[in-house]
Structure formats: structure tokens, C-alpha cells
Amino acid sequence: MEQTYNISLFTENSIGILNRITIIFTRRHLNIESITASECEISGVYRYTIVVNTSLEQVIKVVNQIEKQVDVLKAFYHADAEVVYQELALYKLPTNLDKGEEIERILRQHNARILSLSTEFTTIEKTGRPEDINALFADLKAFGVLEFAKSGRVAISKPMKTLEDYLKEI
């Protein structure tokens, strides 16, 4: 049965490692729903969050293949229930003073905030789950969204073991 899996992996900061990882998905005809990467709590170690829809059997094999890569320190997979996850979205609207009250109400309701304001346009930020981000988009649509950008998912696992524990084991 297919479901959403969050693959968290930790790599050395080497050129090409992202390519090596994505090849593993491409080769199995597996679509990556989202991918984010940045330095993690250990200096020089990069953390990737990759979201895929696939079967448990397949995700286990993929994680094994990822971990087999020389520059990968560790890889894990988690179902949605086992992680705390979040996405970030930015919305650019034309600044419209006439509608100020209405927009304020929407922003309060969605727990979003204004990042920047100029006479021409306003940038709004919202963090949340995809459905929250899409709900805000739907409400803002009437005001003419000029641009909309959304990050991939970042996720933190609920189990307490840290990467450093795993590194010590190695």
C-alpha cells in the first residue's frame, strides 16, 4: 500500500551527493514530492528531508540504497505520524489599502504574518501544513496573488535518538 514517507538523511558536504541520492529515486521511477536540504545541528553535516509516496517495502529498499552511498552518514524513513513537519510559503499581493481590514481578518484567522510592505506590494508569510498553506492561498486569491512560493517539507522525527548517537555507534 502506498503512503507518504518522510526520508531523513544525513550526508557529508560533498559535491554531487545530491545527484547520487536523486539517481536512486530516478532509477526506480519514483517521484520525489519534495526535497529540502541544509546544514544540521552538527557542523559540516547536511540534513535532507525527502517526501515520497510509495510502499513500505520500496521505501526500505530506497533507504538502504541511500545509506550505501559512501558520503551518506545515515538515512531514516518515517510515516507522517512519526514526524513533526512543516512547510513555509510566501505570498506576494498588490498593496491595497481599501481592503486592509479584510486582509487583516484573513491573516489573523490563518495565523500568517506580513514580512514586508511597500506602496506597490505586500509579502505575507505562512508556515504550516500543505493544507493550511493552500487554504490561505484560496482566501488571498481574490486580492490577486502576484507570486506564490512554497518550500518543501522539513521534518523532525519524534523518536528521541539523535544523529550523534548514531555517529557514536558507527
Q: State the residues that interact with another protein by CB under 8 A.
A: 11-12, 14-16, 19-20, 23, 27, 60-61, 64-65, 67-68, 70-73, 167, 170
Least distance in Å: CB of 13 to another protein? 11
Contact between residue 153 and residue 51 where contact means Cβ atoms under 8 Å apart: yes
The DSSP element (H or E) to which 25 belongs, if any, is helix 17-27
d(CA 150, CA 90): 6
Rounded to whole angstroms, the Cα distance separating 155 from 84 reads 6
What's the closest the beta carbon of residue 57 comes to another protein, in angstroms?
9
Could you give the CA distance from residue 161 to residue 13 in angstroms, rounded to a whole number? 22
Among the residues of 54-162, which ranges form H helices?
56-68, 100-110, 130-140
Residue number, 68 or 105, with CB nearest to another protein: 68
Separation of alpha carbons 39 and 37, rounded Å: 7
Question: In the complex with another protein, which residue's Cβ is closer, 28 or 113?
Answer: 28
Of 29 and 101, the one with the shorter C-beta distance to another protein is 29
Helix (H) or strand (E) holding 31: none
Q: Return the number of the residue (105 or 161) whose C-beta is nearest another protein.
A: 161
Asked whether 89 and 151 are in contact (CB, 8 A), the reply is: yes
Q: How far is the CB of 166 from another protein (least distance, A)?
A: 11
Q: Which is nearer to another protein, 49 or 69 (CB)?
A: 69
Asked if residue 91 lies in contact with residue 143, where contact means CB atoms within 8 angstroms, the answer is: no
Cβ of residue 48: shortest distance to another protein, in angstroms?
Answer: 14
**Residue 100 C-beta: closest distance to another protein, Å:** 49
